[in-house]
Chain A
Amino acid sequence: MSFDVLFSQFMSGIARGALLFLVASGLSLTFGVLRVLNFAHGSLYMLGAFLSYSIWKFLLMPVLGFYLAAVIAALIMGGVGMIIEFGLLRRLYARGWPEQLLATYAIILIITDLVKWAWGGEFLSIPRPRPFTGAVFLFGFPFPSYNFFIIILGLGLVVFLWWLVYKTRLGDIIRAAAQDREMVSALGIPIPWLFTWIFVLGAAIAGLSGAVTAPFGSVALGMDIEIIIECFAVVVIGGMGSLPGTLLGAFIVGQVYAFGILFKPELALAFIFMVMAVVLIIRPWGIFGRPER
């Protein structure tokens, strides 16, 4: 195997990892603070993708259209997230996790049918937006420049979330609430609102990541389950609720996927699960996670 093949797989793995981080960070953030595993996170991502497609078509703007559509889709998904948290999840925090899980599963079913009804079952895609239409040369090898857009966006989100969680007062509250929510509540901080906004943020990130996958030509039913399974692998490997863990998990899963495809395309997913299984056996709470009490 020559260097250029390895290098190009490595780079496509980085791009995939960046996309996975985009989606999984919202999932991990929500779980870290709310302690609710949102099965429907992938569905929010899918809905974001479909929404951005329709908004892009409606706007008909040559350059800005795509970016504007992505932002609008993210905002709408934030609103959807608010409805879900406010209308459903909030009433279930006192219940057991199986019921919470089942409730988010119900949301998957509803969103899937909604998408099927509104957009039908066909594959949709948005052409790559300028200036990311061509190729970029790295060490003399060409790479789709749109991949770099995804990587930059992923890095941007890393920085943003790092700043939010570790450098702001809200971040202090978020980390404190992840540790001991009763104590935070006792200090007079309105936990319910914190939860709502965290869920909204997670949903908006999911919507945005869905929107930016549209130029990969993969807006279709079923994209939700595909991504959520890989996101589960990411957060389980890295440790649920941990930001550095999600980053590392996304990198590992992206690389395993990229090289797995090279080796045997049908089994790419199987390789990811093997890594996940190994991590779960050695450290069931993930590389950067903490054991459940």
Chain B
Amino acid sequence: MRTPIAWFVMLSGILFALGSLGVLIRRNALLIFMSVELQLNAVNLALVAFARMHNALDGQVLAFFSMVVAAAEVVVGLAIIVAVYRRRQTVDVDDARELRW
């Protein structure tokens, strides 16, 4: 008996919601970053689940792409955070608001 697709989608939705919440309420850039990763992986889970449902590989391929891009994004993102920390001695995003009006 296969696990129903709805479970996967629900798990994916819960993870995504958790990630979104993290992005919105966290002030530490690193934690926001981790929350974004959570969102990405929630989407990957949904993609793989749908791929299995349709018996097609498209979703899995897309999930791989998403992981590769996420890895690249982590490299750039962490580098920025390190640079910001070196300059300001903090990674609180509410502090970095020079680019307002």
A binds B: no
Binding site for A on B (CB under 8 A): none
Binding site for B on A (CB under 8 A): none
